[in-house]
């Protein structure tokens, strides 16, 4: 057996470089595919976001009116119909069957629709792109109630409330006396009323800002009591004097009851005693007579006559009105007649008694 020649065997051995190249190619393709997918997704997300640019997110309201899910155009139409148009209504206030109206035209009302739509869009597009798209896809609500940005003339509301107050307010009336020469008749007081104007102003403003037809506002008032009631009249008028010129009688009342009558003299022809309701303006003991500058006074006109025989004002003086008063006289024969120059004459003992029973301010009713 001879030595054979070696055989050469042929076979394919794996090439590591080629295998690594194929792996890189696959990864590159996969990456490119992934990037292409992401790009397409980003483009889609962006496109979807842009498609929602003109639409209001669910849950957004304006003045309580839902505009969520609407386009900007439709949202504007809804705001105009449900907020702006209903604002053009009068405000009506009622009290005891009377109505007081504030026309919408006097309020100069306006709603800034453009501004509130812009705000709604801003709220819709808050957050990043992905966050917005996720919210769009999920239909998540943006729960917010936007102010419709209403404006109106505050002064018009103030003027309206002042006008209503002028119609409703009524001052209380104190109890008083309806005098006659023979008796005093109490007149009951009357309660007044005062509008709660601040409360009404708040209610009017609330109605002005609220869309819809609204309901009339019932004005609220407070009852105001008189300072003097019928029960307090006697204390208010502890003394009261009435004078009947036709009877030549002066009557004195205490606590609204007649306690004494006195005979008097009153003004003669051409020299009337002042009639109506007056009061004692001043009191003097042994008064000086300041003679009026009148033709009847003759040479005494303008002089001051001290107490004494030549002074006709005897013992006491109670001034009434425009130089007329109650005084004593020693001309007793004139009592019961129209003999004075406008004063009330009394017998000296009577005028001294009366003087001590009345005060300055005592009412005097002369008929």
Q: Check pLDDT > 60 for residue 123.
A: yes
266 burial (CB, 10 Å; 0-12 / 13-18 / 19+) is buried
Q: Tell the residue number behind the tokens 């009877």, with chain if given.
A: 247
Q: How confident is the model at residue 45 (pLDDT cuts 50, 70, 90)?
A: very low
Q: How far apart are CA 362 and CA 367, in angstroms?
A: 16
Say which CATH topology domain 237-366 has: L,D-transpeptidase catalytic domain-like (2.40.440)
What integer pLDDT is reported at residue 48 of this predicted model?
A: 46
Q: What's the mean pLDDT in 221-234?
A: 93
Backbone angles phi, psi at 265, to 5 degrees: -120, 150
Q: What is the mean pLDDT of the chain?
A: 85
Which candidate, 267, 190, 240, places its Cα nearest to that of 364?
Answer: 240
Q: How far apart are CA 113 and CA 76, in angstroms?
A: 7
Active site residue 24: no
What integer pLDDT is reported at residue 166 of this predicted model?
A: 96
346 burial (CB, 10 Å; 0-12 / 13-18 / 19+) is buried
Residue 42 token pair = 């980003």
Backbone angles phi, psi at 31, to 5 degrees: -65, -45
Active site residue 343: yes
Q: Check pLDDT > 90 for residue 223.
A: yes
- The total of other beta-carbon atoms located within 10 Å of residue 107's CB is 22
Q: Check pLDDT > 90 for residue 209.
A: no
pTM above the 0.85 mark? no
Q: How confident is the model at residue 17 (pLDDT cuts 50, 70, 90)?
A: low
Q: How confident is the model at residue 273 (pLDDT cuts 50, 70, 90)?
A: very high
Which residue among the candidates 8, 24, 278, 327 is catalytic per the annotation?
A: 327
112 burial (CB, 10 Å; 0-12 / 13-18 / 19+) is middle
Q: What percent of the chain has pLDDT over 70?
A: 84
Which residue among the candidates 8, 24, 341, 343 is catalytic per the annotation?
A: 343
Q: How far apart are CA 316 and CA 354, in angstroms?
A: 9
Q: How confident is the model at residue 260 (pLDDT cuts 50, 70, 90)?
A: very high
Domain coordinates in residue numbering, the chain: 154-230, 237-366
pLDDT 10s digits, 78-122 = 888 887 777 778 899 999 999 999 998 888 777 788 888 888 888
């Amino acid at each position: 057996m001879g030595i054979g020649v070696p055989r050469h065997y042929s076979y394919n051995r794996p090439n590591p470089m080629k295998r690594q190249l194929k792996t890189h190619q696959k990864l590159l393709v996969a990456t490119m595919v992934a990037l292409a997918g992401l790009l397409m997704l980003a483009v889609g997300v962006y496109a979807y976001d842009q498609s929602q640019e003109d639409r209001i997110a669910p849950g957004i309201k304006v003045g309580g009116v839902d505009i969520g899910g609407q386009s900007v155009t439709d949202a504007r139409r809804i705001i105009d119909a449900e907020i702006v148009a209903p604002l053009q209504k009068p405000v009506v206030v009622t009290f005891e069957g009377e109505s007081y109206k504030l026309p919408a035209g006097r309020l100069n009302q306006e709603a800034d629709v453009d501004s509130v739509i812009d705000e709604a869009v801003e709220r819709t597009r808050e957050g990043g792109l992905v966050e917005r798209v996720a919210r769009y896809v999920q239909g998540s609500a943006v729960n917010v109630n936007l102010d419709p940005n209403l404006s109106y003339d505050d002064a018009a509301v103030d003027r309206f409330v002042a006008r209503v107050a002028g119609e409703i307010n009524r001052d209380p009336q104190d109890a008083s006396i309806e005098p006659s020469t023979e008796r005093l008749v109490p007149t009951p007081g009357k309660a007044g009323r005062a509008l709660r104007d601040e409360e009404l102003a708040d209610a009017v403003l609330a109605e002005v800002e609220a869309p819809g037809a609204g309901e009339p506002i019932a004005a609220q008032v407070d009852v105001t009591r008189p300072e003097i009631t019928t029960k307090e009249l006697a204390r208010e008028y502890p003394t009261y004097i009435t004078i009947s010129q036709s009877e030549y009688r002066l009557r004195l009342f205490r606590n609204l009851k007649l306690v004494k009558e006195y005979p008097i003299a009153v003004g003669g022809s051409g020299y009337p005693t002042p009639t109506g309701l007056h009061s004692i303006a001043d009191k003097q003991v042994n008064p000086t007579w300041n003679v009026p500058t009148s033709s009847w006074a003759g040479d005494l006109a303008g002089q001051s006559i001290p107490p004494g025989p030549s002074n006709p004002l005897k013992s006491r003086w109670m001034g009434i009105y425009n130089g007329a008063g109650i005084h004593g006289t020693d001309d007793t024969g004139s009592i019961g007649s129209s003999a004075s120059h406008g004063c009330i004459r009394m017998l000296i003992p009577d005028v001294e008694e009366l003087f001590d029973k009345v005060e300055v301010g005592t009412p005097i009713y002369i008929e």
